[in-house]
Every structure is written in structure tokens, then in C-alpha cells.
Structure 1
Amino acid sequence: MDSEKAVRRAAIFGASGGIGGALAAILADRGAKVLAGSRSGIAPDERCRGFRFDLTDENSIAAAAADMADEPPDLTVIASGVLTLSDGTGPERSFRQIDAQAMEEVFRLNTVGPAIVAKHILPLLSRSERSVFAILSARVGSITDNGLGGWHSYRSSKAALNMLIRNFAIELSRTHKSAIVVGLHPGTVDTVLSTPFQSNLPEGQLVSPAIAATNLLAVIDELEPSDSGKIFDWKGEQIPA
């Protein structure tokens, strides 16, 4: 890997999850200084420094960003999100199942929360050196690629997130020529998020968090400023809007 692309400082929002924890561990293996964020504030790896944040609490995000201001991350990954809510409410199979309160919660966690993280972290990024701000998105957020329908709240929350990623990239490019803002689709990963939907998957489609994190970091390693605003899958292939 190009030494100019080596991650020195990383901030993982959602390090208590499978992918986030794996990202933190691999980056620590590489020698990066890793800040690992979760609601508890406890780092999943003793080599990382934990910080507390809650996607529904802007004050906690602002406080975390303030603590990073002296040494801003050159890689930030938002690895938080929701598919099935804590009360068991899952993706809608029909528009008849749409519930306003459930939809609002999905958007708050998948779209609004990451937007607030961007609000506080993007201003910290270097104006001269390479930095990457990545958010875990999903292929089902693609309008062009949608041939099945359903999953209304999740799909639309990710589609809105993808639009925000594009917006952030455009705005940041005016002042931060080496900054990259992207969405990343990790594939189907063996985590709590995907557990209810793992049956009948083709052999080899489900991967471990460690493999998913390794794949995503390989994509991140190759990103250029011209990639900012785009959504990529775990193979590095661009997903259409």
C-alpha cells in the first residue's frame, strides 16, 4: 500500500458491532491509533481507546469530535445502522406494513445519525492531506438496482444516506481537495443485523466480520479523491444510485 494512504489515526463509530470491532482490530494490527466509539464507551480491543457516542444524541457526538480536534482522524468509519428495531420490528414486505414511528426510528439511526457525525467530524479533516470519511451503506439503497421492492424504511433510509454522501463530497471538495467521502456496502455479514435473514443464502455469500472488514479496508486503501461521493461494494465496484 502507498505510504501516503497508510492510516495513522482512525475513528470507528460503532466499534461494538461485528464489522466495527473487526475494523478497529485490523487497523490496530496495522499500527494505527484507533478511537473506538460505542454507546458504552468501552473499546473492543485493549489497543484502542474507547469513546462514548449515541447516534440519537448530538451532544455526545459533538463531545467526541471535540476530543479528536487536536489529532483528527485520517480515516473515519460509521459502522452503525439498523435493519430490525429493538422491539423486533423488521423490514416491511408491503406498504401496508409501514408504521410512521418505526420508519422515523430507522431514518434517525441510518440517515440522521450519520449526518450529525459528518456535521461534527468533516470540519476536522485535513485540508491538505488525504483523509477518508466512510459510511456503511447498502446495495438495497440503490434506486437503479432495485428490482424487488419492499423493505421500505431500510431501502429509503439508505437511499437518503447515499444522497447525503454525495452532498457532503461536493461541499467538502471545495475546501478539502484530498478528502474522500464514500459509502461502502460490506456484503452479507454474519452479524446481529443479518441474523434473521441468513436462511437460504447461497453458499459463500455470508462472510465473517473479519473478512468483511478486510475487504472494506482493501477498498479504502485504493480510494482516490475522484471517488468521493460514490458508493462501492466490498469488491470495489461502484453501486449505481
Structure 2
Amino acid sequence: MSHIAMITGADRGLGLALTANLLTQNWRVFAGQYMPDWSELNDLSTQYPNQLTTIPLDVSSQSSTQSAAQTVEQKADRVDLLINNAGINAIHRDRTIREPQDYDEIHRVYDTNSLGPLRVIEAFLPLTDQSTMKRLCFVSSEAGSITRAHRPAWFGYAMSKAALNMGVRTLFNHLRPDGYTFRLYHPGGIRSYIGGSGVKGTRGGQEPEEAAIPALAHFLESYADPKAED
């Protein structure tokens, strides 16, 4: 029986590369699609019609996450691997506190990066509960590290990833006794579209296809006995 994965933010970048990688490993993949006009994910669906199902998903919307979970439930009896990859950054991220802040934009970043994964986990728990693997994965960032903080700006993104890290720890405290295992991962700098301008960034040190290889290896790494001490 093939394993079943659900990936958010699979339209492009790291999410698309993770989806493609899992498909080559014969996984059944449900891919959250936020931008239906972006062609790459649809191209993968054509290439893997029996393995890949795309699902409309906006992680900042509770109704959207619940609808996505219901769609998966109609097609599968469980989800083994849930990868929370969807994330955004602010267009005005480089503004310091001496410059006007766009708080609506910062709120949108936080709502997507911090609360989005909680909405997804809540909606998909009935499906992940049915799995023996029970692996929950989260794409975070060094920008969320308190000890390594060095930027004078990036309020929305850095604060949202710090909040995500705490949220994952809280989920761990509650779900670990039920057999869940967790992967919280910083993939490094990636040339991606996360900047919000619609243009692929050039400053990252690696392409998404490169970053997906170690990321997926980490996500699929053998997990310890849930009863073991961490």
C-alpha cells in the first residue's frame, strides 16, 4: 500500500519540488493549490494522474482548510505525511521601525505563516489520526530564531516564524503521546517567489529542486518510538 502525503503551498518553489520528489517515490500526493493559474502543478497532475490530486487551499481561511480536508477524506482513508510548506513574506519587509509599517500586510503574513499550519493540522487530524506514521512537518526559517536574530526589519516574517516554532512545540506537547512525530525544518536560502512580488528571487543559495532533496530526507527520516524520551 502506498503512503499518502498532503502538502500545502505546492504551486511552486519548494512545495512543488517536494511534490515532484514524492511522486517519483511512488507516494500518493494531495497538493494544496493557491494559484490555479500557475501551470507547473497542473502539469504534474497530467504526468501523474493516478498519484496526484490538486486541491484548492488557502491556509489563511478556516473554511478553505476544512473543505480541503473533506475533499481528501472522500478520496483517502488517512494521511501519513502532512507537510506545512505554505508561506509568504511581506513586500515591504525591509522597512525598519523608523519607516511606516504596513500592519495589514504584517497581519496577513502572520495569519498565513503562523496560524495557517494550525488550521491545517486541526482540519486534517481525523485523517492523520488514522495513520501509523503520523508525521507532521513544518517549513520554518532561521529568521524565527531569537538567538540568531540579526535583521533590523522583517517584522512580519521573523515574528511569524518565531510564533510557528512555538506553535509546533505546543503541538508536540499535546500530540506526541498519541504517536505523532514532528519535523521542524529550515531549508536555507532558496531562490523562490516568497517575496510576494510574483518574481522569483535571485538571492537564495539554491534552487527549490536542490533544497527539496535534503528537506524530504529529513521529513522522511526514521522516527523514534513515540514512548521514548526526547
Between the two proteins, what is the percent identity of the paired residues? 27
Partner of 2:83: 77
What's the offset of the Cα at 1:92?
3.4
Per-residue deviation, residues 4-23 of structure 1 (Å, max 9, x unmatched): xx971111111102111111
- Give the counterpart letter for 2:217 in structure 1: A
Q: CA–CA distance in 2 between the matches of 1:125 and 1:196? A: 33
The amino acid that maps onto 1:8 is: H
Which moved further from structure 2: 54-63 or 22-31?
54-63
**C-alpha distance in 1 between matches for 2:157 and 2:78:** 31
1:15-54 alignment runs, 5 A limit: 15-40=10-35, 43-46=42-45, 47=48, 48-54=52-58
Shift of 1:209: 1.0
Q: Distance in 2 between matches of 1:108 and 1:58?
A: 11
Question: Counterpart in 1 of 2:207?
Answer: 208
Structure 1 residues 67-146: aligned runs within 5 Å: 67-69=71-73, 70-84=76-90, 89-97=91-99, 98-126=101-129, 129-146=132-149
- For the residue of structure 1 that corresponds to 2:98, the secondary structure is helix
| Normalised TM-score (structure 2) | 0.82
Matches within 5 A, 1:111-190: 111-126=114-129, 129-174=132-177, 176-177=178-179, 179-190=180-191
Supply the distance in 1 between the matched residues of 2:42 and 2:129 (Cα, whole angstroms): 25
Secondary structure of the 2:30 match is strand
- Work out whether residues 183 and 218 of structure 2, in 8 Å CA contact, stay in contact via their aligned partners in 1: no
- 1:63 matched to 2:67? The reply is yes
Q: Which amino acid in structure 1 is aligned with residue 213 of structure 2?
A: T
Structure 1 position 133, deviation (Å): 1.3
- Paired amino acid for 2:92: G
Superposition deviation, residue 190 in structure 1 = 1.5
Question: What amino acid sits opposite 1:105 in the alignment?
Answer: R
Change (3 A) 1:117 1:104: same
The alignment of Structure 1 onto Structure 2 pairs a total of residues equal to 211
Computed over aligned residues only, the root mean square deviation of the Cα atoms, in angstroms, reads: 2.4
CA deviation vs aligned residue, 1:56-78 (integer Å, no higher than 9, x gap): 22112101112333422111112
- Cα 1:143–1:152 shift into 2, 3 Å: same
Partner of 2:5: 10
Quote the offset at 1:225 in angstroms.
4.7
Secondary structure of the 2:124 match is helix
So what's the TM-score if we normalise by structure 1?
0.78
- Unpaired runs of 5+ in structure 2? none
In the alignment, structure 1 segments of 5+ residues that lack a partner are 1-5, 200-204, 228-241
Instruction: State the secondary structure of the residue aligned to 2:214.
Output: helix
Give distance in 1, aligned partners of 2:123 and 2:110: 19
- CA 1:15–1:128 in 2, change beyond 3 Å: closer, same or farther? closer
1:7–1:74 CA contact under 8 A, matched in 2:
no
